[in-house]
């Protein structure tokens, strides 16, 4: 089969964000858009020829087309072998696991994660390196630079490959192996968690769980593991069939978008344990009866209870959290006398820490928790971790969190998202606060005294690389903090995120309603940024 060289020109807007290149499907459907990006990726990966790549996505609209394009281009670029999930399906943690298990050169994830799908929805592409994790900034920057000068892409003239059947096939000189997306991942989960105990928990009379796969990629994984291997009754997994448009839903596991799960967990006959995952299976939400666990608290609870779980029985080397994530896990690290690292937003920053053995667990306030078992956050893993803790400790989700607060204090926490803000207005709001930062210390905003303010910068302790401008932080008296940053994953206008945190050591006051407890900070944020007034919004689009 002959390699075809197709002339092309750079196309604007191919700058990968927090988590790869995310755009509207219609943008990806422009002639040459996907091809330019994929060829730029192949052009900046020395040593790829003859090696193995893993390829798969969350099944969203355009997944099937993009996979065929990428397979032809991979073959034309001399890739030795591509492992593809059956029907083109792989969850993000599932792909990370396969890259590691099969010692692949890297992997390509097709997903826009928690963003909506369908012809008018979003699509995305992300490159993962040989450790199974998202490519670091120096690689994504090289890809972007290449998109600015690209002048040709390579492909083969060939029919589509049948990805519905497991087994091997060939495309030109390249081998293609269609693999079961769940098998390897399920084996890894069996190594980490006490499946016997989990089976016993799920068999307890009256104990019920509800896992909402949100019509996204975790459906088949959760059905195979929770219902198939652990014996949860059929129907414990809801919305388990992946659909190209996620059934019209927004596959983001938060109280706003996972409203079906929240309603079930608030009903009189609510199950004991509820959880949801997102489009590509890397995020998680944990819910008890009428009780939603914040992701920051969830990370802290997992860290505090890790030794109850076989895979972590030897203890944690350290923990890491993204800067806007609450300091709840810091308090656990202090009690355990292990290091706690604070990184910029985005999972790629955990990779070096995990590879160097500096930390075992990591997490982000955006519903991402994970460990050194893969190099991505992992939704179903977090669910199994919680179930394992419940199986050993007994009690309820709520009692475990409340006991945690009693022991460590409560970091009352919330994130307010303002989506679809006019991009110029958003830029100005951030720029003005950045300019004001050096003048804030000692000032009072809505009755709160500013102690200090900074623009978060991070020096990677492993490779010394420096990332600046990662979020504007204002610290107040009594352990309160607000952070303002612009999202790097939105596809419409700009999304501004306001992160609010207040420490409450007094057990008598820990039951307070979150938004009420944070009202002084919400007022201070408005006084300092004018965010609501300037964006013309009365309230945030999403509160988590």
Q: Interface with ligand G16 includes 218 (CB under 6 A)?
A: no
The distance of closest approach from Cβ of residue 277 to ligand G16 in the complex, given in angstroms and rounded to an integer, is 10
The distance of closest approach from Cβ of residue 257 to ligand G16 in the complex, given in angstroms and rounded to an integer, is 13
Q: Interface with ligand G16 includes 37 (CB under 6 A)?
A: no
Q: Residue 321 has which token pair?
A: 């959290």
Q: Interface with ligand G16 includes 364 (CB under 6 A)?
A: yes
Number of Cβ within a 10 Å radius of residue 499: 28
The distance of closest approach from Cβ of residue 419 to ligand G16 in the complex, given in angstroms and rounded to an integer, is 10
**Which of 118, 488, 493, 520 contacts ligand G16 by CB under 6 A?**
488
Nearer to ligand G16, 18 or 514 (CB): 18
Distances (CA, A) of 263 to 259, 323, 350: 6, 31, 34
Q: Interface with ligand G16 includes 283 (CB under 6 A)?
A: yes
The distance of closest approach from Cβ of residue 392 to ligand G16 in the complex, given in angstroms and rounded to an integer, is 29
Distances (CA, A) of 371 to 320, 362, 385: 10, 6, 11
**Which of 366, 467, 535, 544 contacts ligand G16 by CB under 6 A?**
366
Number of Cβ within a 10 Å radius of residue 422: 13
Q: Interface with ligand G16 includes 489 (CB under 6 A)?
A: yes
Q: Interface with ligand G16 includes 298 (CB under 6 A)?
A: no
Nearer to ligand G16, 379 or 409 (CB): 379
CA distance 476 to 446: 11
- Total number of residues that touch ligand G16 (CB under 6 A): 17
Which region among 212-220, 299-307, 361-369, 527-535 touches ligand G16 (by CB under 6 A)? 361-369
Q: Interface with ligand G16 includes 250 (CB under 6 A)?
A: no
Nearer to ligand G16, 197 or 415 (CB): 415
Q: Is 470 exposed, middle or buried (0-12, 13-18, 19+ CB in 10 A)?
A: buried
Q: Return the C-alpha torsion angle 223, 227, 232, 234, nearest 10.
A: 80
Would you call 353 helix, strand, or coil by DSSP? helix
Nearer to ligand G16, 322 or 326 (CB): 322
The distance of closest approach from Cβ of residue 88 to ligand G16 in the complex, given in angstroms and rounded to an integer, is 19
Q: Is 291 exposed, middle or buried (0-12, 13-18, 19+ CB in 10 A)?
A: middle
Site for ligand G16 in 320-339 (CB under 6 A): 322
Q: What's the gap between Cα 361 and its chain centre? A: 14
Q: Interface with ligand G16 includes 251 (CB under 6 A)?
A: no
Query: Which residue among the candidates 113, 298, 414, 480 is catalytic per the annotation?
Result: 113
DSSP state of 225: I
Q: Residue 245 has which token pair?
A: 């448009």
Q: What's the gap between Cα 390 and its chain centre? A: 24
The half-sphere exposure of 60 on its side-chain side, counting CA atoms within 13 A, is: 35
* Binding track, positions 410-449, relative to ligand G16; x by CB under 6 A: ----------------------------------------
**Which of 61, 193, 347, 456 contacts ligand G16 by CB under 6 A?**
347
The distance of closest approach from Cβ of residue 110 to ligand G16 in the complex, given in angstroms and rounded to an integer, is 13
Examine the residue annotation and report whether 326 is marked as an active-site residue of this protein: no
Q: Interface with ligand G16 includes 471 (CB under 6 A)?
A: no
> Phi and psi for 126 in degrees, rounded to 5?
-140, 140
The distance of closest approach from Cβ of residue 347 to ligand G16 in the complex, given in angstroms and rounded to an integer, is 5
Nearer to ligand G16, 39 or 366 (CB): 366
Site for ligand G16 in 8-27 (CB under 6 A): 18-19
CA distance 191 to 177: 25
- The answer to whether the Cα torsion of 403, 409, 415, 416 is positive or negative is positive
> Phi and psi for 20 in degrees, rounded to 5?
90, -170
Nearer to ligand G16, 17 or 520 (CB): 17
Site for ligand G16 in 53-72 (CB under 6 A): none
Q: Interface with ligand G16 includes 256 (CB under 6 A)?
A: no
CA distance 92 to 281: 6
Q: Interface with ligand G16 includes 147 (CB under 6 A)?
A: no
Nearer to ligand G16, 18 or 68 (CB): 18
CA distance 339 to 343: 13
Q: Interface with ligand G16 includes 96 (CB under 6 A)?
A: no
Start-to-end C-alpha separation, the chain: 52
The distance of closest approach from Cβ of residue 124 to ligand G16 in the complex, given in angstroms and rounded to an integer, is 8
CA distance 400 to 414: 20
Q: Which residues pair with 156 in a beta bridge?
A: 3
522 closest CA partner among 423, 448, 440: 448
Nearer to ligand G16, 282 or 372 (CB): 282
The distance of closest approach from Cβ of residue 278 to ligand G16 in the complex, given in angstroms and rounded to an integer, is 6
Which region among 45-53, 63-71, 208-216, 482-490 touches ligand G16 (by CB under 6 A)? 482-490
- H or E element, residue 41: helix 33-43
Q: Interface with ligand G16 includes 344 (CB under 6 A)?
A: no
- The answer to whether the Cα torsion of 371, 372, 373, 375 is positive or negative is positive
**Which of 58, 122, 212, 282 contacts ligand G16 by CB under 6 A?**
282
Measured CA angle at 40 (ends 38, 46), to 5 deg: 105
Nearer to ligand G16, 85 or 346 (CB): 346
- H or E element, residue 155: strand 152-156
CA distance 496 to 477: 24
**Which of 86, 404, 497, 502 contacts ligand G16 by CB under 6 A?**
497
Nearer to ligand G16, 52 or 325 (CB): 325
**Which of 114, 146, 375, 410 contacts ligand G16 by CB under 6 A?**
114
Q: Which residues bind ligand G16 (CB under 6 A)?
A: 18-19, 113-114, 282-283, 322, 345-347, 364, 366, 368, 487-489, 497
What residues act catalytically?
Answer: 113
């Amino acid at each position: 089969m002959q390699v075809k060289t197709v002339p092309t020109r750079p196309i604007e807007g191919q700058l990968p964000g927090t988590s790869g290149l995310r755009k509207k499907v219609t943008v990806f459907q422009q002639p040459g858009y996907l091809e330019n990006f994929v060829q730029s990726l192949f052009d900046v990966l020395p040593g790829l020829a003859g090696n193995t790549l893993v390829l798969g996505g969350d099944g969203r609209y355009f997944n099937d087309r993009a996979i065929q394009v990428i397979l032809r281009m991979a073959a034309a670029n001399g890739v030795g072998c591509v492992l593809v999930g059956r029907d083109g399906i792989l969850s993000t943690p599932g792909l990370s696991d396969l890259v590691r298990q099969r010692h692949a050169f890297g992997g390509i994830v097709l997903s826009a994660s928690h963003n909506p799908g369908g012809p008018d929805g979003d699509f995305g592409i992300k490159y993962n390196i040989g450790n199974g994790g998202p490519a670091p900034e120096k690689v994504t920057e090289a890809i972007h630079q290449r998109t600015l000068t690209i002048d040709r892409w390579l492909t083969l003239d060939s029919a589509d490959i049948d990805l519905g059947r497991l087994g091997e096939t060939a495309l030109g000189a390249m081998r293609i192996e269609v693999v079961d997306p769940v098998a390897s991942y399920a084996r890894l989960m069996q190594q980490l968690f006490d499946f016997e105990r989990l089976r016993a928990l799920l068999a307890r009379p009256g104990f019920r769980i509800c896992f909402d796969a949100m019509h996204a990629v975790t459906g088949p994984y959760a059905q195979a593991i929770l219902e198939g291997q652990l014996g949860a009754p059929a129907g414990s997994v809801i919305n388990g069939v992946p659909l190209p448009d996620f059934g019209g839903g927004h596959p983001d596991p938060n109280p706003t978008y996972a409203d079906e799960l929240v309603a079930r967990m608030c009903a009189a006959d609510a199950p004991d344990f509820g959880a949801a995952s997102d489009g590509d299976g890397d995020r998680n939400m944990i819910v008890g009866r009428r009780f939603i666990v914040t992701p920051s608290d969830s990370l802290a609870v997992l860290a505090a209870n890790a030794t109850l779980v076989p895979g972590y029985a030897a203890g944690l080397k350290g923990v890491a959290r993204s800067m806007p994530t609450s300091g709840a896990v810091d308090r656990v690290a202090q009690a355990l006398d292990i290091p706690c690292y604070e990184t910029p937003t985005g999972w790629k920053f955990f990779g070096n820490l995990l590879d160097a053995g500096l930390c075992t667990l990591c997490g982000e306030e955006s519903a991402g928790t994970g460990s050194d078992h893969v190099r991505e956050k992992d939704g179903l893993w977090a669910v199994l971790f919680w179930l394992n803790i419940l199986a050993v400790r007994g009690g309820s989700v709520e009692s475990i969190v409340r006991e945690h607060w009693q022991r460590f204090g409560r970091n009352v926490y919330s994130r307010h998202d303002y989506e679809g803000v006019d991009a110029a207005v958003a830029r100005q709001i951030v720029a003005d606060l950045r300019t004001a930062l050096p003048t804030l210390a000692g000032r009072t905003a809505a009755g709160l005294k500013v102690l200090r303010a900074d623009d978060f910068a991070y020096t990677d302790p492993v490779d010394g690389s420096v990332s600046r401008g990662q979020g504007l932080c204002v610290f107040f008296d009594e352990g309160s903090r607000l952070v303002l940053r612009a999202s790097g994953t939105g596809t419409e206008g700009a999304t501004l995120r306001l992160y609010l945190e207040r420490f409450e050591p007094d057990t008598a006051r820990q039951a307070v309603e979150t938004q009420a407890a944070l009202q002084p900070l919400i007022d201070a944020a408005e006084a300092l940024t004018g965010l609501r007034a300037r964006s013309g919004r009365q309230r945030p689009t999403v509160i988590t």
